[in-house]
Amino acid sequence: MKLIIFVKIGAIPVTKDQNDLWKFKILSTKTLVSYTFWWFLPIVVCTILNSFLNPNLSESKDDLAVGFVQFVTDQLISANLILIPFFIPALLAYIIDKSKVDLNAHVKLTKIPKLCFFSIMFTAILAFSLYGLWNTMDNVYVGVLLFSTTWIFYSSLNMVTLFVINLVCNQFISHTGEVNCQNKAEHMISGCVDLVKEYGRLKEGLSPLLLIFLSFYVVFALLASYTGLKLIGLKDYYSALTYTLSVPNLVLTIYYIIIFCDDTFQALSANNQKLRRIALESDEEEKQNIHIVLDMIGEETQFSARGFFLVDKTTFMGIISNLIGYLIILLQFPSI
């Protein structure tokens, strides 16, 4: 698959500059088209459809005496459906701009079963949500169209984000494999230096997306878990399923992003052993250059969320343990 596909459908608003490099420009035709189709148009359609709905739609939730945490969760859902689609095109364009990846390169997708699972989960959440809304609306078909439009655009942008992360990281990993095929010391040295530079650009490009996605999704997963459990206690099983199904979807999204960051970081040092073997058969000058390259690779750190925290496999385990811990704390306050 090629990254240029997502540029053509307007999900990544980048344009070529005079140096033939893909750049993100806030004031450009592609940015305008991207935000019109992926953000402004869905909001306009949903606003129009919402005007036809019965204003008493929220009565069922009032009957459930929604607590503060559930109220916050609902507000986060609204923010999620509006703000995340607003940020995604800019974040994806920033990745392409800073990483300078080849948009026309054919890159093999990996971890496809996880992408399939995302599609299944998105469909399941949509189905249970529509079933739960069926008996709470006077204008049922308008409500179904409203929710379907919102969810389809939102899930499509999320899937595009996962595809882009997959392709960008796999393009770097494939480059490490190409360098590993070199047998001459000078080619290995120059190739590894280029990899260090490429990794630095990729790390900078992904940094804002990691901060926004991981921070928001962790909080959302915590509150959705709590709300789902509370709704089960109130015997509102269909609404509870909507919340509880979103939790594994959010957690898997977090895992998917983190695992690609970790795989990319590990790939950077994949050629270290071969460099050391070549150094044993090289002259003093080449040995010195190889040691410099190894030092450059060793000085690189894992991906970070704008410097707030590092992103690797241990980050995921820390997130899970914190989610469970805070969920237990919240459950001690049934009146929230």
Higher per-residue confidence, 121 vs 250? 250
pLDDT at 65 over 50: no
Q: Specify the number of domains making up the chain.
A: 1
What does the pLDDT read at residue 60? 45
Q: Is residue 336 part of a domain?
A: no
Residue linked to tokens 């040995």: 287
Q: Let me know: does 199 contact 268? Beta carbons within 8 Å.
A: yes
CA atoms within 13 A on the CB side of 288: 3
Is the confidence at residue 67, as pLDDT, over 80? no
- Residue 145 belongs to a domain: yes
What mean pLDDT, rounded, does the chain reach? 84
- Residues 89-117 have a mean pLDDT of 90
pTM: 0.87
| Predicted local confidence at residue 316, as pLDDT | 93
In a domain, 63, yes or no: yes
Rounded CA-CA distance 101/105 in Å is 9
pLDDT digits (tens, 9 = 90+) for 297-308: 999 999 999 999
Between CA 144 and CA 34 the distance in angstroms is: 25
Q: Domain for residue 44, yes or no?
A: yes
Q: For residue 107, what are its two tokens?
A: 């890159």
The label of the residue with tokens 């997963």 reads: 221
In a domain, 264, yes or no: yes
User: Angle, nearest 10°, between helix axes 140-180 and 41-50?
Assistant: 160
216-273: pLDDT as tens digits: 899 888 888 888 888 888 787 777 877 888 888 889 999 999 999 999 999 999 889 9
Q: Which domain holds residue 195?
A: 4-331
Q: What is the pLDDT of residues 137-172, one digit of tens each?
A: 566 666 667 667 777 777 888 899 999 999 999 999
Kindly state whether residue 241 falls inside one of the protein's structural domains.
yes
What band does 55 get if pLDDT is binned at 50, 70 and 90? very low
Q: Give the C-alpha separation, 5 to 107, whole Å.
A: 12
